[in-house]
Amino acid sequence: MIPNKWYALLESREVPAGKPVAFKRFGEDLVFWRDSRGEIAVMRDLCPHRLAKLSPGKIVDGNIQCHFHGFQYDRSGACQLVPANGRNGPKPKIFQCWTYPAREAYGFVWVWSGAPRAEYPPLPVDLFKEVDGYIYDTFQTTWDTHYTRAIQGVLDVSHLPFVHAKTIGRGGLTLVNGPYTVLEDDKIFVWVSNQPDVGLPAVKPTQLPPPQRPPDLRLQFPNVWQLMIGDKMAQMLIAAPIDDEHTQLYVRYYQRMVTHPKLGRAFAFVGNVFNRYVLHEDEEIIVSQRPKKADLDVGERFIPGDRPIALYLQERRRLILAAEEQAQPEEARAVG
């Protein structure tokens, strides 16, 4: 993972009130639950007493209760009850659950990938603001690959006429001009300019003039992708990391052409049926890539048309190294 980033990991509706639920994310078994006010809590799915899972337990008085010995923990992970000690008995601080900072926005649960801190940066929801007021439908699917491969796939503008020859790649637009690509404020913007091959060489990214229209593809680090289709339709994808070999994809189809709530949701659902088919075309090839985790030094060779992918990997590497450098002085102070 990229340290010190907010990752969208679940849809909010997957965490009901009054019941803990278990999901694997960040390569760890986590438990998601809500307190008596409905606020989200995310913890390692592990009771610090005898190391049993917390997720089979239940919510009691706004706390999560371990089903093994009845220990209760609040949202901060602090022990609130040791039944064997009595309700007014000691609650040793050694019984502290490992918790993750978590927030909710735009129907997703966002979890912090770094160490807790006094203040956190804003959630990376700028792309969601672009589709405020749209009606949407969501579907999800699991891919047997690292989330970086999924993001590579949705930034790849060269594969369309081959992998999607019968769907979104019809027309034989095999020549890739550019694409013009910009990195700005933790976002990558891509302008697609593909055309049929009529014998002319492709225009390199550096030779293209600045575009006079909005970008087609947008990625906001660490795991939010968007495709704008005109000014009334859009697609959003969340690549939620399960572990190094599995990714949970959340795909949303947004539209504001049909404004009636029920009809609009039905229209978005139909749009997502098509998205599901197209994404399956991607899945068949992307899960075959090796290694499952994409990086700059795994042996891939890039062409100019791969500029969005290369830029993504470069920026991802830079963010990881920057976070590691920032952590070193803190670790040194802790040792001193």
CATH number of the domain encompassing residue 99: 2.102.10.10
Residue 283 in any domain: the answer is yes
Q: What is the pLDDT of residue 206?
A: 87
Q: Are residues 74 and 163 in the same domain?
A: no
Both tokens of residue 111? Answer: 């979890």
Q: Are residues 158 and 229 in the same domain?
A: yes
Residues in the chain, pLDDT under 50: 333-336
- Which domain-ending residue is among 52, 77, 112? 112
CATH number for the domain spanning 295: value is: 3.90.380.10
Q: Which of 316, 284, 325 is nearest to 297 (CA)?
A: 316
Q: Are residues 143 and 102 in the same domain?
A: no
pLDDT tens-digit readout, 236-265: 999 999 999 999 999 999 999 999 999 999
Q: Are residues 90 and 154 in the same domain?
A: no
Q: Are residues 304 and 163 in the same domain?
A: yes
Q: Are residues 286 and 176 in the same domain?
A: yes
Task: Name the domain count of the chain.
Answer: 2
Q: Are residues 95 and 37 in the same domain?
A: yes
Fill in the DSSP letter of residue 66: -
Q: Are residues 164 and 279 in the same domain?
A: yes
Residue 334 in any domain: the answer is no
Q: What is the pLDDT of residue 333?
A: 45
Residue at token pair 């699991």: 142
Q: Which of 252, 223, 220 is nearest to 239 (CA)?
A: 223
pLDDT tens-digit readout, 273-301: 999 999 999 999 999 999 999 999 999 99
Torsion sign across C-alpha atoms 305, 308, 309, 315: positive
Residue 329 in any domain: the answer is no
Residue 196 in any domain: the answer is yes
Q: What is the pLDDT of residue 230?
A: 87
- Which domain-ending residue is among 112, 138, 155? 112
Residues 6+ apart with CB under 8 A from 241: 1, 7, 9, 25, 26, 27, 146, 147, 223, 247
How far apart, in whole angstroms, are the C-alpha atoms of residue 99 and residue 101?
Answer: 7
Q: Which contiguous run of DSSP H or E holds residue 128?
A: helix 126-129
Q: Are residues 290 and 227 in the same domain?
A: yes
Q: Are residues 98 and 138 in the same domain?
A: no
Residue 333 in any domain: the answer is no
Q: What domain range includes position 264?
A: 126-318
CA geometry: angle 188, 252, 184, nearest 5 deg? 10
CA distances from 37 to 41, 44, 240 (A): 11, 21, 26
Q: What is the pLDDT of residue 328?
A: 73
CA distances from 95 to 189, 210, 238 (A): 46, 57, 34
Judge contact between 96 and 77, C-beta under 8 A.
Answer: yes
Residue 274 in any domain: the answer is yes
Q: Are residues 259 and 198 in the same domain?
A: yes
- Which domain-ending residue is among 62, 85, 112? 112
Residue 202 in any domain: the answer is yes
Residue 197 in any domain: the answer is yes
Q: Are residues 99 and 182 in the same domain?
A: no
